[in-house]
Every structure is written in structure tokens, then in C-alpha cells.
Structure 1
Amino acid sequence: MQLGPIHFDSTERWQAFCLCRCRGDHLNPGKTPLTAPDSVFRGMHKLMDDFLNVFLTEFGAPFYRAEVPISSIARYRRRLPDQLLSYWEKYGWSGYADGLFWTVNPQEFEPIVTEWVKQNPTIVVDSYHVIARNAFGDLHLWGENTQTFLMIDACWARYSYMRSNVSKDRNISTFFAILDREHCDPLAFFDAARKRLGRLKHDEMYGFVPVLALGGSAQERSIEVAKIIEHLLFLSQIEPLRHIGLEDI
């Protein structure tokens, strides 16, 4: 059965959803669209740090941190939400949960955007910037003009969108608030791969070898450590991204 949008009529209910979602509760098991009027978010700015604290409770303090240069803050001012730049200034580009989730320097991923996103005529035209990724090379991109999240499932060469009618800063805070470990490790391979192969470095990922598009097997024993930029560029040359649906929040 297809359910209608879940609508939040108060800040408290929206906050409760985000907090429970981060802790793995299943308030939204059908992954139905979520909507909330902008008026719901009056006074929400003071809650944004609380939402990030929920993220830190879920993923822990960063084990790796690269300071973000002032030049990078200036480069992305007015291109990325101020709230994200504030997180950069406070936490840097960092690795969390023993390498499961990373915030990243978008400039390093520009070749991926050029080869895998800009060349794909089915993707909504925008200036996309990679802001985060998981251990398996799945990417989260911010659309500069449409304020849309573009999510790339790298191993399967699939993409989807997530949109919201709220402000850019609220979008970013909610993005971090609703993340959980299960979302970042859908096949539940991370712990075994980390134990067998060791903790990832900031420029590494776990990838299937052979890659799935060339007949590889989606099993933990097929995972090896790869340089993330080189591996994603290789994947982009093998198979174009396919759209798998749209979720509105």
C-alpha cells in the first residue's frame, strides 16, 4: 500500500522524528515522503547543534580530522549551506565510526562529478558538490541551485534524490540528524571488512573486486581496499548511473 506524505505540524514532532530516526526507531518504516511547513522550523536554528549532537551520539567523535583551509571556506561560501561550512570549521573534514562515514573536501571529488554526473543526461542539471561518503564509496552531493541532495550508490551505479522545501541550513542539519549506521552499511559488511582489511585511510574505500558491473559477487570476501577517487573513476567508465526513485522530505 502506498502511503501519503507524513506531515509534521509542530517543531517538537519533527524534532522527535529526527531524534528517533537517528536512534534506529522505525517511525517511518515505509519510507514515505515527509513534509513540513517552513513555519514549523521557527526557532529551529537553536536545535541544529542538537541534531548534530545526535549524529555524534550515533557515530561517535571523529577518529580522523583534516583542518579545512580558509581558502576552502571562501571557495564554497554561497555555494554550500552556511551550516555545513560551520560544521567544517568546528569538526574539519573527518572520519567517523572507524571509517564508516566521512565528511569530505568537495574539490577532491570534482573528477567524479564531471565523469559520472555531468555526463549523464538523466540527472537534473545543477552544480553538484560531494559533501560526504561512506566506506563503500556511496556519495552524498549537494545541488547548489536546486538545493537537492543527490545520492549515488556507487557499487550498483544507481542514484536518487532527496528534496525539501525548508532552508538550506535546515536541510543540512536534518541530513546529519537522520543518518544512522544501517543507512551507511546496507549490506552489513563493514565490521567484517574492517576486521579483515583494517581501518580505511581518508583516501580509501572498500570495493568489490571484480566490480559488480563486470560480474563480481556482492559478498564480503570479494571486498578489497581501493583508492576512492581512482576506483570511482573506474566505475564511472564502466556503467552510467541509473535512477532508482525520488524521496521528498
Structure 2
Amino acid sequence: MNKIYEDIVHKYGNPVLKIPFTDQEHLALRRFFPNQVADFCFNIGRSVLRDGLIQSCHPDDMRGVLALILGADRDFSHDNCHAFAYSAFGVIFFWMEEYGYGNISIYEGRLTHKNFVKGQHAGPMAVNAVSVPFWLSDQALDFEDDAGKPLFKRAAKKLGSLEIGECYGFVPALALGGIADIAHLKRLKAPEHFAIVAQAMEYNLIDVQGYGQSVAVRPIGPR
């Protein structure tokens, strides 16, 4: 079993729900990722972890969403960026060819990629970064309402735990004038909801310069 996956299971326990990849999906992983990352993705499959705060996915599950967000961007593309996980509130974690790990906050319009911003190509140790999303704090994976209160535990209690392929989303979507409040939150199919939000948002590449400090580098894709 892949060491990265073993460490996550040792810390947080086995996935709440899990669907293995098909043989065809397994073969595709070798085209998208370095071998160690592909092995990790194969071991974890489509899994719901940490009570639903985060779940793993196949790159093709979010390919259409990334195409909408990245458009015809000169650097980022749905062909060179491959999703492997996402949070309950719409942060997609992806692997970019040449530069490694990055993430996109669907609801906030932010693409963050430290290596790309610094111009550092992914070295041999970059594969370990695929574990980063699964080790993030509960707070980092949660989402706050308009009063600054975390939503995840309240959402799970009111709406039920997420199934594979689901997310918590606001209806109407925040980008369409929705309100960040538990009363407007629903359990939704993640790819479909993320696609709706992506078409209503503008996205920026963000340079995180320190705790609480970030700067918009440039817009993503011609919009």
C-alpha cells in the first residue's frame, strides 16, 4: 500500500465511504501523475474522509469544472491540471504537470500555486505534497457564514453527511447573489454545482506571501 495513504489512514482512520477506481480509470492515472502520486490515487480511490470534510476523486470527475475555470489561460489548463481531491465547500486540490500541487477555491475565486508563482519546477520530493490537503486543519477545510461562524458541523447535522461526489453549496450560489448562511445551504452534486459557480465567477492567481497576506497576481483565463 502507498506510504502516503497509509499515513493518512493511520491518523484519521479508514474512509467513511470508498469506491475503487475501475481498471480503465487506474490506467489513466499513470498518464496524469508521477508514479507515486498515481499509486496514492489508486489506493485512495473515490473516498469520503474526515466525516466528509474532504474527499478524493478521479481527475476526470472535475475535468469539466477545471475547463470552465481555466478557460484558455496561457499557463493553466484542464489538460495539464488534474484534480485528485476536493473539500466539502468547494476547494479543488490538483496536480499540475511540471509544478506539482495547487488548489482552487471555487466559491472564493482563488487559484493558489506556490511553486508556479515562485517559478520552481516540481522536484523529486514534490510528490509528497499530494498529502497536504488531507492534513489541513478542520478550520482550513471548513467555510464560514456571513457571521464568521464555521458551517461544516452544522451542515452535517442539518443536511446529513455527504455521499461520494457531493458537496455543500449555497442556493442561490454566492456568485449569483446567494447568502452564506446555513438556511441557504444544501447537499448537492459537486461537479454540477461547481460548474454553475465557475461560470458566474472570475478567478485570480493568488500569491500567498504569509499568514493572512496574499496578493492577486493576475486573472485566470480570458473571461
For normalisation by structure 1, the TM-score amounts to 0.70
Q: Structure 1: which 5+ runs fail to align?
A: 1-47
- The CA distance in 2 between the partners of 1:131 and 1:89, in whole Å, is 10
Q: Which amino acid aligns with 1:170?
A: N
- Residue 200 of structure 1 is aligned with which of 143, 162, 173? 162
- The CA distance in 2 between the partners of 1:58 and 1:218, in whole Å, is 31
Residues 120, 241 of structure 1: 8 Å contact kept: no
Identity value in percent: 24
Map of 2:37 onto structure 1 = 84
Residues 52, 177 of structure 1: 8 Å contact kept: no
Distance 1:214 1:233, change over 3 A: same
- Residue 139 of structure 1 is aligned with which of 92, 98, 120? 92
Q: Which amino acid aligns with 2:206?
A: I
- Residue 70 of structure 1 is aligned with which of 23, 35, 41? 23
Corresponding residue SS for 1:213: helix
- Between 199-208 and 83-92, report the one with greater CA deviation: 83-92
Greater Rg by CA: 1
- Residue 108 of structure 2 is aligned with which of 156, 159, 165? 156
How far residue 185 of structure 1 moved from its aligned partner, in angstroms, is 1.1
Is 1:102 aligned with 2:64?
A: no
Map of 1:236 onto structure 2 = 198
**RCO greater where, 1 or 2, for CA within 8 Å and sep 6 or more?**
1
Corresponding residue SS for 1:243: strand
How far residue 242 of structure 1 moved from its aligned partner, in angstroms, is 2.0
Distance 1:106 1:177, change over 3 A: closer
Map of 1:24 onto structure 2 = none
How far residue 158 of structure 1 moved from its aligned partner, in angstroms, is 1.7
How far residue 99 of structure 1 moved from its aligned partner, in angstroms, is 1.4
Q: Which amino acid aligns with 2:130?
A: I
CA RMSD in angstroms, aligned pairs only: 2.5
Residues 112, 207 of structure 2: 8 Å contact kept: yes
Is 1:222 aligned with 2:184?
A: yes
How far residue 102 of structure 1 moved from its aligned partner, in angstroms, is 0.6
Q: Which amino acid aligns with 2:96?
A: G
Q: Which amino acid aligns with 1:225?
A: R
- The CA distance in 1 between the partners of 2:54 and 2:46, in whole Å, is 11
Q: Structure 2: which 5+ runs fail to align?
A: 145-149, 211-223
How far residue 66 of structure 1 moved from its aligned partner, in angstroms, is 0.8
How far residue 176 of structure 1 moved from its aligned partner, in angstroms, is 5.2
Distance 1:214 1:90, change over 3 A: closer
